[in-house]
Structure 1
């Protein structure tokens, strides 16, 4: 029997008005305030059909694939399509294969079948998401056994197979948080889990298991939870709007400050769940009387002046709504002595860099200047969170320097391809990650890595990369739009530009500014996102896809750290 679309999509609308806390308090007990919390968004649940009596092997297989889109009751309906033994063994959380729904079902013997499909993306057991450059063919093998006159699946690949539209409805993007090595800032790590009651448990298990490999192997992030810490009861119960996180003995022998960090890390990681407003941390069943800092994860990402920083008519300053420049004292005067084609600024360290034909120059807050890097054909220089100036010749990807404002210079090792050409560098404001836009024989890619630093926070190495595909013909610029997203600017056949917003560890979406762009810059999120066009206009992006011109006569748009 051929069955398609056996699922019924039910829109479950939960209308609740809660009186509680704004965001997610990180104290040990429930907090109260007079803030009205918006009701959670409606979610789509798939109610799949159970096996049909007398169904064929193909009918059972199609029914199983459909049913596996519903994680309710630990994929209870999907398990009905499996043999008694395999229903216990099957691990639906092992992985997710994401395709476009175009599949070929084939019979290979009296008791075996295959599904051939093109994989577009996949998710691993820890919720790590990878989108592929291009579809990859895959063959999935299934075997059958007859139990009491009915066909059931006796073996299947671990995990589930979902088409893109179903994945987007069933799975939700979650953000785990780990600390930078100084325990000052929280660094995000994107994962994907089914949007069900068990989501808090999946989040906490993944958090205790540690960061994604690309982020953790570099030592760019650390966890407050000691190695070997696990959930005591293998679940995170929710009582009202409070989540109870009970962890095992390794967390006992830690300081009060470490316990506060554990609570802060757990609270930030659970903050996106609309049903949770407080977190209670326990160790081996004993509630911990601790409180963490009240600021949430979003406030942990350093913020900058929201106005675009530009060079216009030789002067450097923040563009005001009136169109005039709020010049940076003394820095603007010094910049006027150069003819820069790129610039960067660190508000914390009150210093700027300018790329010129003679190399990369530092401009201090006093107005004094110094040549930082005289090598030829440099990519635009950038600051990191700790005030280091990063510079690299475009054709020499392994000759990356990090220089202090005082003039000390060090070589930073990189994993980038030997034949790579560095188009653009972007440093996240938490100091933990670098995004490099690189052209090579395999095409243009975005290499996102953790940063290895020494005890004085000096960069030593760029860690193993998470490699993201880049759309478009010619890439020109990359910038961190917010803590999760890197924007990449490319041109399409010299006709128009395309901007791809890449969620690091997640999916990507594209927007078209309707003009040829030269470079990107961002302040504190997508609503403070700017592009300089070829005619010197500065365009500002508005969520929803609209762009508007906010200035003309802009010769350089600066990157702000």
Structure 2
């Protein structure tokens, strides 16, 4: 299963949550179960709040409409009540006219803002204006906004038994960024690479409530995000869906009842279906918003049990925790003051005069860049120059044995070279880029991230890799723009299966930010004079190289030197089994 250790946790400190609670809502502390605060009555002494690890879960419960509230007060209450998704946004629906309550669709999407909203009367309505920073669509896909141009919606009102209620409202909800982090959580839907030998995460965001398991399974069966289609595979037969809009969880077991197309599944397909469901659902840890924890999945088809199959296990690629470097005239894994060489590879890398390299997961092949171009080195002694074009970026490699190269000045001139010496022109679909500064393929080989530049702006994009016979790359899918940066972006590297880190150079200093694919960005402690950034197994294993050859590793909120005289840090795809 993919390593989730570097991902944002499902739990946050109570101090963090109270600081975020600028909305007029009540806070519910959740320890071992989902606890509700009565919406009326006197305040009771609840004693001390605490947990075994000092970390507790908090639910928001918004107040309902108050008697005599104005139109603006009703709208403010309705917007604030989006922080309480329990019982299908039951409290928010109290602000709606009876005719609208069942039709309003809160799951149509989320607009995320930083506050500073305005409410303005317009005839017999109220207009809400926000400055968005991100959005989540009806499939749970998250996108940060390229700009914060204001968005406005108009809400109509009628009186119901002498009280104002909302008669017309757009679908979806609005949440402040700090509240969104407490109400929604990220879940990685699991699909397969084309060879069915590795899992590929497709990150989605859903509110924490009792129906979260149903949302996850429904989204999984609905298929991958549009940009991933054609690059990933699913085991579920076409047309498979839930027989009802419910995935009950009993004693840790999620019971998934599928429609008739699932009857086509043989034993191997059932194993894969089980793995996809289990990997997607075990992220439910319980407690918050009534979400039940899941540890097992039971599949039935139209109410009937399926044949019993043994569990399928796939291990996510993990690299050697040691930095792979060239120090002096030695190439290998940094071990204290020494270097542990890679048999059949190290000597050839040094002999090539490399200034950048990538090592395969089996440690039997490396691609190196030197003054001559990009050379592929095999552990059996074969050394082959595969690309001699000038101005090549450091190469990247996929788990199917292809080495990828592209010149910095020609973003669309992307080539993939196989181990036998064949070369494939990979069709790209990105436009508007004058140069390309960095590329890297995910360790399971289905996604490529790139830094594109046009003038003073750098764009971080991700694209799916569409493959043909024998997993040969054919083209890249339409790119997803993850972030636009005014500083010059120098390097992008995979941190884990869902996160990349970007090295930025601007105003005389280097900065680093992390970006989830389908999620949020965050800064990393800054560094000075860094030229290279390489990922390991999570944020704690980022490796940075300074212009004077010092190897730096993150330690808490700072960086620690781990050696000097380093020529370059190489990228790893994994470790031998």
Normalised TM-score (structure 2): 0.88
The aligned residue for residue 73 of structure 1 is 87
CA apart distance, 1:238: 0.9
Counterpart in the other structure of 2:262 = 251
Q: Which residue of 1 aligns with 2:329?
A: 314
Alignment of 1:147-546 (within 5 A): 147-216=160-229, 219-274=230-285, 275-293=293-311, 295=313, 300-320=315-335, 322-348=336-362, 350-441=364-455, 443-471=457-485, 473-495=487-509, 497-542=510-555, 544-546=556-558
CA contact (8 A) 1:100 1:164 kept: yes
Does the residue aligned with 2:527 lie in a helix, a strand or coil?
coil
CA distance in 1, matches of 2:485, 2:544: 17
Does the alignment pair 1:557 with 2:572? no
SS in 2 for 1:526: strand
Shift of 1:177: 0.5
How much has 1:290 moved relative to structure 2? 2.6
Using the TM superposition, give the Cα deviation of residue 546 of structure 1 relative to its aligned residue in structure 2, in angstroms: 3.0
Root mean square deviation of aligned Cα: 1.8
1:382 CA drift (Å) = 1.3
Partner Cα distance (1:351, 1:461) in 2 = 24
Which aligned runs of 4 or more in structure 1 are off by greater than 6 angstroms?
38-41
How far 1:183 moved relative to its partner?
1.4
Which runs of structure 2 are paired with 1:112-131 in the superposition (5 Å)? Answer: 112-131=125-144
Q: Distance in 1 between matches of 2:456 and 2:281?
A: 39
Alpha-carbon separation, structure 2, partners of 1:158 and 1:94: 6
TM superposition shift of 1:311: 0.9
Residue 447 of structure 1, CA deviation: 1.2
Give a deviation string over 1:490-543, Cα, whole Å, max 9, x none. Answer: 123122x2111111000011112432211111232223221111110111124x
How many angstroms apart in 2 are the aligned matches of 1:545 and 1:290?
49
Seen in structure 2, the aligned counterparts of structure 1 residues 475 and 139 have a Cα distance that, compared at 3 Å, is: same
Say if 2:87 and 2:209, in contact at 8 Å, map to a contact too. no
Structure 2 CA distance for aligned equivalents of residues 348 and 374 of structure 1: 26
1:86-101 paired onto structure 2 within 5 Å: 86-101=100-115
Kept in 2, the 8 Å contact 1:264–1:292? The answer is no
Shift of the 40–80 alpha-carbon distance from structure 1 to 2, 3 Å rule, reads farther
Structure 1 residue 472: Cα displacement:
6.0
Shift of 1:121: 0.4
The answer as to whether partners of 2:525 and 2:558 remain within 8 angstroms in 1 is no
CA contact (8 A) 1:342 1:557 kept: yes
C-alpha distance in 2, partners of 1:114/1:439? 38
Counterpart Cα distance in 1 of 2:277 and 2:95: 37
Q: Is the 8 A contact 2:258 2:300 kept in 1?
A: yes
Deviations 1:213-261 (A, max 9, x none): 1111xx1111111222111121000111111011111111221211111
Q: Is the 8 A contact 1:349 1:387 kept in 2?
A: no
Q: Report the CA distance shift for 1:202/1:483 in structure 2 as closer, same or farther (over 3 A).
A: same
CA deviations over 1:142-185 (Å, ceiling 9, x no partner): 10011221111011110101001110010011110011122111
User: C-alpha distance in 1, partners of 2:57/2:446?
Assistant: 34
| Deviation digits for residues 169-207 of structure 1 (CA, Å, limit 9, x no counterpart) | 100111100111221111000000011111101100110
- Alpha-carbon contact 1:334-1:368 (below 8 Å) kept: no
SS of 1:547's equivalent in the other structure is strand
> Which deviates the most, 311-320 or 282-291?
282-291
Mark the runs of 5 or more structure 1 residues left unpaired by the alignment: 17-37
In the comparison of the two structures, how many residue pairs are matched? 528
Q: How far apart are residue 471 of structure 1 and its match?
A: 4.2
1:125-140 → structure 2 map (5 Å cutoff): 125-140=138-153
Corresponding residue for residue 32 of structure 1: none
Task: Find the aligned partners of 1:426 and 1:86 in 2 and give their Cα distance.
Answer: 48
| TM-score (normalised: structure 1) | 0.91
- Residues 88-131 of structure 1, C-alpha deviation per residue, up to 9 Å, x if partnerless? 1100010000001111111110x211011101100011110001
* Contact 1:315–1:335, Cα closer than 8 Å, also in 2: no
**Residue of structure 2 in register with 1:10 after alignment:** 28
Q: Is the 8 A contact 1:340 1:354 kept in 2?
A: yes
Moved more, 122-131 or 438-447: 438-447
Q: Aligned partners of 1:371 and 1:494: how far apart in 2?
A: 37
Q: Deviations over 1:380-427 (max 9, x none)?
A: 111111110000111111110000122110100011225331111111
Q: Structure 2: give runs of 5+ residues left out of the alignment.
A: 1-21, 35-51, 286-292
Alignment partner, residue 39 of structure 2: none
Question: Separation in 2 of the partners of 1:343 and 1:136?
Answer: 42
SS at match of 1:105: strand
Secondary structure at the aligned position of 2:518 is classed as coil
The CA deviation at 1:341 is 2.0
Distance in 1, matches of 2:98 and 2:456, equals 47
Q: CA deviation at 1:53?
A: 1.3
Q: Which residue of 1 aligns with 2:49?
A: none
Distance 2:144 2:344 in 1: 46
SS at match of 2:429: coil
Distance in 2, matches of 1:339 and 1:396, equals: 24
Contact 2:344 2:364 survives alignment (8 Å): no
Q: Work out whether residues 14 and 39 of structure 1, in 8 Å CA contact, stay in contact via their aligned partners in 2.
A: no
Aligned counterpart, 1:59: 73
